[in-house]
Structure 1
Amino acid sequence: MAIPDHPLHSAGSISSEPVPSPLGISFGEFLKHPLKVGSAFPASDRMVRRMLAPIKWGAVGLCIEYGPGTGVFTRAILSRLPRSATLLAVDTSREFTRHLQRHIDDPRLRAVTGTAADIEQIAARLGLGQADAILSGLPFSTLPQETAAAIVASSAQLLRPGGHFLAYQMRAAVHPHLTRHFARVDKGFEWWNIPPCHLYWATGPRRSR
């Protein structure tokens, strides 16, 4: 996920043009922004299933995804969400956001170009309330520490009391931020992915204000 500043864009009409290769888009963005894209490879089906398994998706009204990339997790979440739910996907790469807007024809999806550090403002601008779940694929190991801390703190503020923060990471940099802002953090590791990833499920968001 790249981090240039772009104006906010919400999902629009779906293009009928051929779907470009998700792997090609991921590699292109990775080559342009190697320190700001979590991985050049889309997540494996096995990691997606394991990452999403603990959540009772039928009870989710609002889910937020940071760094959706080409939409592997996005599509999996939409397949689990109720018809009345909303999925807000936030990415700073306009290339990724446009891909989601053009090729996922689902009214529950709001794909926007922006930064996760501004998630409270983005949600307010779209008229969205508190979230039941937040999924992050952001590379916290390459984010500035102040930015990483702000993202997790804002996420904890935006989650409902029983909400979940989920993260998959090449490294464990997000873990101390999660323990600071959540009462419980469960950990796992998935080898069956390129690259292998640390998995985190955090619950009990602590309110800092």
Structure 2
Amino acid sequence: MATVQLKKLQKAHGPVARALRTLRPWATFFRQFVKHPAMIGSIIPSSNALVQSMLAPVDWSTTRLFVEYGPGVGTFTRPILDKMRPDAMLVAIDTNADFVRYLNGDIADHRFRAVHGSAVDVRSIIAEYGFSEADYILSGLPFSTLPEGVGPQIAEETHAALRPGGTFLVYQYSRFVQAVLSPSFSKIDTALEWINIPPCRMFWATKEAPLAQAA
């Protein structure tokens, strides 16, 4: 009996099992890209270089709430959880119910919640978890293919949901989103990550504090 259990344990942690666990997120991502190509920016998940560059400006020591739009299979989600404080929370919002089910089933972390919903409703969603504002909000949503008017609405709601000094982190494959962000955010920093397929543009839009607070 012990021998059978040992063999099962070895099989569960063997090279084939590890390979299958590695390929599972890619297979899920590809299936959803085929089903909803307009809602997913690229057929290939983001590179580790892009993840690290995008998250580099985050002050993890003061972050209590991090929100992610369009988490997909968790390419950014897991590194965010690795960096977050033990008492912080990550709320991931996706309109794709398959991704939400996948993440809630795959990530066992008391600080994490994947929610089926729209980024437009970010304020009501974070309120359900006892928050009135977020420190950082990350988005990989393909703004250039969103229905007309939805992009600006997301930008406005995101600005309202951020604390003063909070940042909206956006990664895209074109400059289109900058025109969407500009009416809501006066301070936008940009960069390009070449180590990604395709090379990706990064935007950090900061909600500036009122002058009285900044003085």
Common fold: TM-score over 0.5: yes
Within 5 Å, give how 1:145-160 maps onto structure 2: 145-160=148-163
Between 30-39 and 124-133, report the one with greater CA deviation: 124-133
Q: Please list every run of at least 4 consecutive aligned residues from structure 1 whose deviation after the TM superposition is greater than 3 angstroms.
A: none
**Cα distance in 1 for residues equivalent to 2:208 and 2:67:** 15
What TM-score, normalized to structure 2? Answer: 0.84
SS of the residue aligned with 1:181?
coil
1:122 positional shift: 1.4
Q: Which amino acid aligns with 1:39?
A: S
Question: Residue 56 of structure 2 aligns with which residue?
Answer: 53
Note if 1:204 corresponds to 2:207: yes
Question: Residue 166 of structure 1 aligns with which residue?
Answer: 169
CA RMSD of aligned residues (A): 1.8
Decide whether the 8 Å contact of 1:157 with 1:206 is kept in 2: no
1:107-156 alpha-carbon deviations (Å, 9 max, x no partner): 00011111111111212233222000000000001012310011010000
Note if 1:107 corresponds to 2:94: no
**Cα distance in 2 for residues equivalent to 1:206 and 1:91:** 29
1:205 positional shift: 4.8
Decide whether the 8 Å contact of 1:97 with 1:113 is kept in 2: yes
Structure with greater helix share of residues: 2
1:206 positional shift: 8.2
**Cα distance in 2 for residues equivalent to 1:140 and 1:206:** 26
Q: Which amino acid aligns with 1:188?
A: A
**Identity across the alignment (%):** 45
SS of the residue aligned with 2:143?
coil
Within 5 Å, give how 1:1-209 maps onto structure 2: 19=21, 21-205=24-208
Decide whether the 8 Å contact of 2:138 with 2:168 is kept in 1: yes
Q: Which has the higher contact order (CA 8 A, sep 6+)?
A: 1
Decide whether the 8 Å contact of 1:157 with 1:205 is kept in 2: no
Question: Residue 3 of structure 2 aligns with which residue?
Answer: none
Gaps of 5+ in 2: 1-19, 211-215
1:13-63 alpha-carbon deviations (Å, 9 max, x no partner): xxxxx8461111111111001111122211101110000001111110000
Q: Which amino acid aligns with 1:135?
A: L
What TM-score, normalized to structure 1? Answer: 0.86
Gaps of 5+ in 1: 1-17
Between 198-207 and 178-187, report the one with greater CA deviation: 198-207
Q: Which has the larger radius of gyration?
A: 2
**Cα distance in 1 for residues equivalent to 2:76 and 2:150:** 23
Decide whether the 8 Å contact of 2:50 with 2:193 is kept in 1: yes
